[in-house]
Amino acid sequence: MDKNNIKKNNVYISEEEKTLNWNEIQDSFKKSFGSEIYTSWLQKISLVKEYNDYLILGVPTRFFRDWIVSRYLDKILEQVKSFKLSLNRIEFKIIEEAKNTSDLIKIDEYNKVTEIKDSLLNYNRLNSSLNFENFIQGKSNDIALSYSKKVCEHLSRYNPLYICGGVGLGKTHLLNAIGLELQSENNVMFISAERFMYHFIKSIKKNDMVNFKDFFRKSSVFIIDDIQFIRGKESLQEEFFHTFNSLMDKGSQIIISADRIPVKLDRVQERIKSRLAGGLVVDIDTPDLELKVKIIKKKILEIESQFKENINLSEDVINYIANESKTNIRELIGILNRVIAFGRVHNKILTVNDCKNILKDVFSQIKIITVDKIQNVVSNYFNIPLSDMLSQRRSRPLARPRQIAMFLAKKMTTRSLPEIGRRFANRDHTTVIHAVKTITRLSDQDDEMKKNINQIKSLLLE
Ligand code: ADP
Ligand code: MG
């Protein structure tokens, strides 16, 4: 890699440098993956942005992304690399298709509100897969769930309904489920506080506050997610307060989520806090083992029926995963996906020990980390050319970084030892084993080594 290239890393490249022709790449996918896989999966991927060293690709759903990542990512990367050598990483962005956008645009053709609507459809559309049906009840979410349902039966009785709890515990899922339940007979608005601010600021800039107010105040069910986002943002709070009041005045139902109870919302005006707490406040607690196990089992069934695939996880493994994930259901599902993906790749029934290995470093595993990326980051870190690091030369200043890269490839990807060896200029798997042992030992004994490894890891996880 030459110096210019390194400098360009992570910088969005200029128009002239965009080199990829996505149609051409799609054609090559079709050839190499075969038309069946191509039409069910690859065809639906779009190119969102091209950077010098990585691509952002668009996919329709989270599940779609997980599936692609676990089965086809390496091959996709290899393929796009053949069109552009400097690429070493792929990221995915979930782009939901806008439903009925064209109709709305027609109705509002001359109305500026279209833009807000349009953007809301893209970013805040209700997700049909987060419904009451697949929200599993447990001790920790029992009350929140039952009041979410009650709100749907008796609009305006609990107003506002305020659902709070830590990250990844199901708040957005519940809000979304309420929205789905009510949308056929009500004018439902579902938005995150962050997105609300985005429209607010945009409308101020365009001097278009009238439309903004109209738009947000005409809903009969107003659902706003992650209200803690307004902390410390005075003018946003002001606007929210007015929106809130005018909605309440006309009897609209308001549902709010937050990561904490109203009184704990520091840097939020008192009058807003008391408004937020003025209806019903319910919280979601961290899940117990029983709920986690139920959720895992339900997820497995979902995957099996969606993909006509048998997923064979023993009770032991399920319990192990449930125990391993301490507090957060999002993380729990991430871990499960990881384990399932590993089982698929290696085509075997997993033991608890396998899972231990897979989850050794859960957080780094969940990120998409490729051997290529590790090699690039390590060679940059030690300031040596990648070609030297991969070469057969054995001098210590090259050999150590090479071993560190192999060690990290083993720890942070699901590649097997022989596969890793091949990617290091066709070395034998025993060389990789030796590298892993050496670096494991050194990072135990040597603080400097430990520090290096940790810094490289965090660069990889950035
Ligand atoms: P939050 O908004 O509180 O951070 P989310 O609603 O995004 O959390 O939930 C994180 C993930 O966990 C989502 O995929 C959601 O569907 C799932 N989840 C949370 N609670 C449950 C539950 N009780 N049953 C099924 N899935 C759940
Ligand atoms: Mg959320």
Q: Compute, in angstroms, the gap from residue 166 CA to the centroid of ligand 2.
A: 9
Cβ of 130 closer than 6 Å to ligand 1, yes or no, is yes
Cβ of 369 closer than 6 Å to ligand 1, yes or no, is no
Q: What is the CATH number of the domain that holds 79?
A: 3.30.300.180
Same domain, 183 and 329: no
Same domain, 272 and 136: yes
Cβ of 141 closer than 6 Å to ligand 1, yes or no, is yes
Determine which helix (DSSP H) or strand (DSSP E) holds 18, and give its type and residue range: none
Same domain, 174 and 43: no
Q: Compute, in angstroms, the gap from residue 171 CA to the centroid of ligand 1.
A: 7
CA nearest 43: which of 70, 72, 15?
Answer: 72
Q: Compute, in angstroms, the gap from residue 289 CA to the centroid of ligand 2.
A: 22
The per-residue pLDDT for 100 is 38
- Cα 284 from Cα 294, distance rounded (Å): 17
Residue 201: count of CB within 10 angstroms of its CB: 14
Same domain, 293 and 386: no
- Cα 374 from Cα 376, distance rounded (Å): 5
The per-residue pLDDT for 181 is 96
pLDDT at residue 407 tops 90 = yes
Is residue 218 domain-resident? yes
Is residue 253 domain-resident? yes
List for the chain the helix, strand, coil content (%; round to 5).
60, 10, 30
- Beta strand ranges found along 203-288 (DSSP E): 221-225, 253-258, 280-284
Same domain, 208 and 243: yes
Residue nearest to atom 20 of ligand 1 (CA): 170
Is residue 2 domain-resident? no
Q: What is the CATH number of the domain that holds 421?
A: 1.10.1750.10
CA atoms within 13 A on the CB side of 46: 10
Cβ of 135 closer than 6 Å to ligand 1, yes or no, is yes
Same domain, 312 and 269: no
Contact 402, 424 (CB under 8 A): yes
Determine which helix (DSSP H) or strand (DSSP E) holds 188, and give its type and residue range: strand 188-192
Cβ of 295 closer than 6 Å to ligand 1, yes or no, is yes
Residue nearest to atom 6 of ligand 1 (CA): 170
The per-residue pLDDT for 3 is 38
pLDDT at residue 145 tops 60 = yes
Lowest mean pLDDT among 46-60, 84-98, 315-329: 84-98
Same domain, 127 and 75: no
Cβ of 333 closer than 6 Å to ligand 1, yes or no, is yes
Same domain, 256 and 113: yes
Q: Which atom of ligand 1 is nearest to the CA of 170?
A: 6
Percent of the chain whose predicted confidence (pLDDT) is above 70:
87
Lowest mean pLDDT among 25-29, 39-43, 119-123, 278-282: 119-123
Residue nearest to atom 1 of ligand 1 (CA): 168
Predicted confidence (pLDDT) per residue in 48-68, tens digit: 888 888 888 998 877 677 778
Predicted confidence (pLDDT) per residue in 265-304, tens digit: 989 999 999 999 999 999 999 999 999 999 999 999 998 9
Q: Compute, in angstroms, the gap from residue 392 CA to the centroid of ligand 2.
A: 50
371-381 vs 447-461: helix crossing angle, rounded to 10: 130
Considering every ligand atom, which ligand is closest to the CA of 336? 1
DSSP 351: P
Q: Which atom of ligand 1 is nearest to the CA of 134?
A: 25
Q: Which atom of ligand 1 is nearest to the CA of 226?
A: 2
Higher pLDDT, 245 or 362: 245
Is residue 448 domain-resident? yes
Average pLDDT over every residue of 130-159 = 96
pLDDT-derived band at 361, boundaries 50, 70, 90: low
pLDDT at residue 2 tops 50 = no
Higher pLDDT, 357 or 58: 58
Q: Residue 434 sits in which domain range?
A: 371-461
Cβ of 443 closer than 6 Å to ligand 1, yes or no, is no
CA nearest 67: which of 294, 299, 298, 303?
Answer: 303
- Cα 26 from Cα 47, distance rounded (Å): 10
pLDDT at residue 149 tops 80 = yes
Considering every ligand atom, which ligand is closest to the CA of 169? 1
Of the candidates 307, 342, 367, which is a domain's last residue? 367
Q: Could you give the strand order of the β-sheet that contains 161-165, starting from the edge strand earlier in sequence?
A: 188-192, 221-225, 253-258, 161-165, 280-284
The per-residue pLDDT for 117 is 61
Residue nearest to atom 11 of ligand 1 (CA): 330
Q: Compute, in angstroms, the gap from residue 360 CA to the centroid of ligand 1.
A: 24
Predicted confidence (pLDDT) per residue in 167-193, tens digit: 899 999 999 999 999 998 999 999 999
Name the domain count of the chain: 4
Note if the pTM is more than 0.85: no
CA 448 from centroid of its chain's CA atoms: 33
Average pLDDT, the chain: 85
Same domain, 417 and 278: no
Residue nearest to atom 16 of ligand 1 (CA): 173
Q: Which atom of ligand 1 is nearest to the CA of 298?
A: 25
Count the helices and strands in the chain (H runs, E runs).
24, 8
Of the candidates 94, 127, 157, which is a domain's last residue? 94
Q: Could you give the strand order of the β-sheet that contains 89-94, starting from the edge strand earlier in sequence?
A: 46-50, 54-59, 89-94
Is residue 100 domain-resident? no
Q: Which atom of ligand 1 is nearest to the CA of 165?
A: 3
Predicted confidence (pLDDT) per residue in 92-130, tens digit: 888 765 443 333 333 333 344 455 565 555 455 788 889
Same domain, 305 and 238: no
Same domain, 258 and 114: yes
Of the candidates 59, 94, 129, which is a domain's last residue? 94
- Cα 110 from Cα 102, distance rounded (Å): 14
Same domain, 349 and 378: no
pLDDT at residue 373 tops 50 = yes
Average pLDDT over every residue of 60-84 = 80
Q: Compute, in angstroms, the gap from residue 225 CA to the centroid of ligand 2.
A: 7
Average pLDDT over every residue of 205-229 = 90
Is residue 11 domain-resident? no
Lowest mean pLDDT among 18-22, 126-130, 220-224, 363-367: 363-367
Is residue 99 domain-resident? no
Q: Which atom of ligand 1 is nearest to the CA of 169?
A: 3
Is residue 319 domain-resident? yes
pLDDT at residue 144 tops 90 = yes
DSSP 1: -
The per-residue pLDDT for 146 is 97
Higher pLDDT, 359 or 179: 179
pLDDT at residue 461 tops 60 = yes
Q: What is the CATH number of the domain that holds 221?
A: 3.40.50.300
